[in-house]
Amino acid sequence: MGRRVLIVDDEPALLETLQMYLSERGYEVGCASNASEAIDSSLTLNPEVIILDIRLPDGDGLQVLKELRDRGCSSKVIVITAFHDMETAIKAVKLGASEYIPKPLDVEELEGAIKRVLRLPLRDEETLRVDPCLQYEEGEIVGKSRPMMEIFKAIGKLSENRVTVLIEGETGTGKELIARAIHYHSPFRDEPFLAINCAAIVGT
């Protein structure tokens, strides 16, 4: 019997495509097209992985994720959405999502994500591909590329605890914005955030 995967999306063509692709690769695939079906199917099928769209006809995918976690569902969750932003990605990770993938989907990338969360061997073409598209605006991190989704996921995980984080990068690449985002999304958001220009510190 293959690894059990539940796909939750309201696009029939996408459901059919993903079901066919994953079934051909040995996965046991179930499908749901709305929030209520997603919850029922998750609890009855007990999938190892849930591929969950954020926008559903009768509810919000993140609320579905929260309810599943509240009910004790331990399935690995891969969130997919065409409406991707930093806040949504961070919230998804905090609610327990293992991966966050923007649409349009690349089926090989999706299978790579499934293998990562199940800790299965990856083919070379399934590793994360780098898209150099990054954009920053004052006070907010803006980016829709897959590497930015990885950064948003990391922010969500790091902001859960009081830990020391080293952020490396060239001048102007947004290191302080990432630091502010980690602080803002942490339990310590009401405490002061102090940015110091280390280059301006005179050694003694």
pLDDT tens track for 131-149: 333 333 334 565 666 677 7
CB 30 within 8 A of CB 47: yes
Arithmetic mean of pLDDT over the chain:
80
Shared domain check, 122 and 83:
yes
Give yes or no: residues 166 and 87 share one domain: no
pLDDT in tens, 14-50: 999 999 999 999 999 999 999 999 999 999 999 999 9
Query: What are the distances in angstroms from CA 158 to CA 87, 117, 143, 152, 181?
Result: 14, 19, 19, 10, 10
Q: What is the pLDDT averaged over residues 79-99?
A: 82
Q: How far is CA 184 from CA 146, 148, 160, in A?
A: 22, 18, 11
The yes-or-no verdict on residue 110 having pLDDT over 70 is yes
Phi, psi (5° rounding) for residue 31? -130, 145
* In a shared domain, residues 170 and 77: no
pLDDT of residue 13: 95
CATH code for the domain in which residue 81 is found: 3.40.50.2300
Q: Which two tokens stand for residue 108?
A: 């090989």
- The 10s digit of each residue's pLDDT in 167-188 is 888 877 778 788 888 877 787 7
Residue 150 lies in a domain: yes
Are both 87 and 150 inside the same structural domain?
no
- Do both 112 and 185 map to the same domain? no
Residues 110 and 20 grouped into a single domain: yes
With a CB cutoff of 8 Å and minimum separation 6, the contacts of 164 are: none
pLDDT for 143: 62
Given pLDDT bands bounded at 50, 70 and 90, which one contains residue 204? low
Contact yes or no for 4/31 (Cβ under 8 A): no
Return the axis-axis angle of helices 146-158 and 86-94, rounded to nearest 10°: 50
The answer to whether residues 9 and 100 belong to one domain is yes
pTM: 0.65
99 within some domain: yes
| pLDDT for the residue 111 | 92
Residue 201 lies in a domain: no
Say if residue 77 is in the same domain as residue 145.
no
Asked if the structure places residue 180 within a domain, the reply is yes
CB 145 within 8 A of CB 134: yes
In a domain, 203, yes or no: no
Number of domains within the chain: 2
Give the pLDDT confidence score for residue 146 in this predicted structure. 67
Cα-flanking dihedrals φ and ψ of residue 159, to 5°?
-75, -5
Last residue of a domain, one of 100, 126, 152: 126
Give domain status of residue 75, yes or no.
yes
- Residue ending a domain, choose from 126, 144, 162: 126
- Selected residue with higher pLDDT from 70 and 180: 70
**Residue-wise burial string across 31-40, b where 16 or more C-beta atoms lie within 10 A, e elsewhere:** bbbbbebbbe
Verify that 107 and 25 share a domain, yes or no: yes
Q: What is the pLDDT of residue 63?
A: 94
Domain end: 108, 126, 144, which one?
126
Tell me, yes or no, whether 109 and 140 share the same domain: no
Instruction: Domain of residue 10: give its range.
Output: 4-126
197 falls within a domain: no
Instruction: Give a yes or no: residue 199 inside a domain.
Output: no
Kindly report, residue by residue over 47-61, the tens digit of the pLDDT.
999 999 999 999 999
